[in-house]
Structure 1
Amino acid sequence: MNSQNKKGFPPGRIKIMNALSELMREKDFHSITTAEIASTAGVTEGLIYKYFKDKKDLLYQVLDGHFHEFHDHIVKMIAPCSSAIEKLSIIIRTTLKSYAANRVFAKILLLEVRNSPNYFESDAYNMVRIYSGTILEIINQGMASGELKPDINPFALRQVILGSIEHACLGEVIFGKTLNTETVSDHICNIIFQGVQP
């Protein structure tokens, strides 16, 4: 991953992270062994524990790398826009496209990590908070400018946006169904923003 290389990670560490991503395209995280990860990466099993506390720590760091790239891309996409609704629409569309294009990322984020208390103390979860904070900031800007209704609950609107995205992606992630990101994002945006415009 580009973000992993930018962090200056040693080649062995990058190989291990990429190996887990590769294995998760075909298998459930809990059925993947450290021996399989090492074999796929072409390293010794001991090297995994040199760089990661355990298999879960490796998973969180893979997710963190994905989310850094993802959020950086979103920030660049919305930078030229002044409209809050346009920014939120871009975030919805870009998130759907990212989940559809990178099933491993979506699988980790939506299914694999949320049942672990340690996830909520990880760098990966901090990136999720930054992403959701970006959405909340845009909503507040839209309310302040009059583009969105001043009496809506910004936290509730954020949850509606995030919940709509995740629910739309679950079939893709769990059953491998094809997701028409353009159509789905248009439907979500129409329902949400026709209801919040003054």
Structure 2
Amino acid sequence: MKKNKPKFKQIIDAAVEVIAENGYHSSQVSKIAKKAGVADGTIYLYFKNKEDILVSLFQEKMGQFIEKIEQETTSKQSAEQKLLTLIQTHFEQLAADHHLAIVTQLELRQSNKELRQKINYVLKRYLNVIDQIVEEGVEEELFRSGLDRRLVRQMIFGTMDETVTNWVMKEQRYNIEEQAKEVHSLIVNGLARHDK
């Protein structure tokens, strides 16, 4: 498995930086190799091409990202707490790595359909976490029943995603973590039972 090879992480981390600074299309494999401190040929022992680097980068980084979100949310009791933790952890992780934030919010939005499908596949696990929280919220009567779960999931993920994209576009000049509580409040109120 290529993940266990010693230089895999080195190349992935270098790719995040190079792609964030130069944009995906201007990031030659040679630039990534130079940043990683490896020969150009070494990259091809791990990755088929530049697109493979981008997809692997997303799988690797998003895998760690989702793992952290799963750990953090599982330790909370109520759906309301879990949702707040999900939003906070999402914002915190991207605030902690501004290069990664640029790559996930801007550079991964490629128009290539095959690439999008691979990215969506990785996101499935994250969307499952959101689905579980919504399910619990309905059971706990925090959220109203009869919600279109697919739409709710898109709305929650889309709201967080757009909030981070806006922050990246504004060159991360403000503290995005401070917006977590307000985003949480807007979502909870939007999904709340009206008779409560």
TM range (shorter): 0.7 to 0.9
Shift of 1:57: 0.4
Alignment gaps of 5+ in structure 1: none
Other-structure match for 1:131: 126
The alignment-based identity, stated in percent, is: 26
RMSD: 2.1
1:120 aligns with 2:116: yes
More displaced 10-residue stretch of structure 1: 102-111 or 40-49 = 102-111
Matched, 1:185 2:180: yes
Question: 2:3 touches 2:9 (CA, 8 Å); kept in 1?
Answer: no
Q: Residue 88 of structure 1 corresponds to which residue in structure 2? A: 83
CA shift digits 1:74-123 (9 cap, x unpaired): 1111112221121111111111122222223222222222322222343x
- Give yes or no for contact 2:167–2:176 (8 Å, CA) kept in 1: no
CA contact (8 A) 2:105 2:161 kept: yes
Inter-partner Cα distance in structure 1 for 2:105 and 2:17: 17
- For residue 54 of structure 1, what is the amino acid of its counterpart? N
Q: 1:177 to 1:22 in 2, by over 3 A?
A: closer
Q: Give the aligned length.
A: 192
Query: What are the within-5 Å matches in structure 2 for residues 1-198 of structure 1?
Result: 9-114=4-109, 115-122=111-118, 124-198=119-193
CA distance in 1, matches of 2:3, 2:162: 36
Tell me the distance in 2 between the aligned counterparts of 1:44 and 1:12. Answer: 11
Structure 2-normalised TM-score?
A: 0.87
Aligned AA (1:17): I
Gaps of 5+ in 2: none
TM-score normalised by L of structure 1: 0.86
Q: Which amino acid aligns with 2:154?
A: Q
Distance between the aligned counterparts of 2:75 and 2:130, measured in 1? 16
Distance 1:170 1:42 in 2: 30
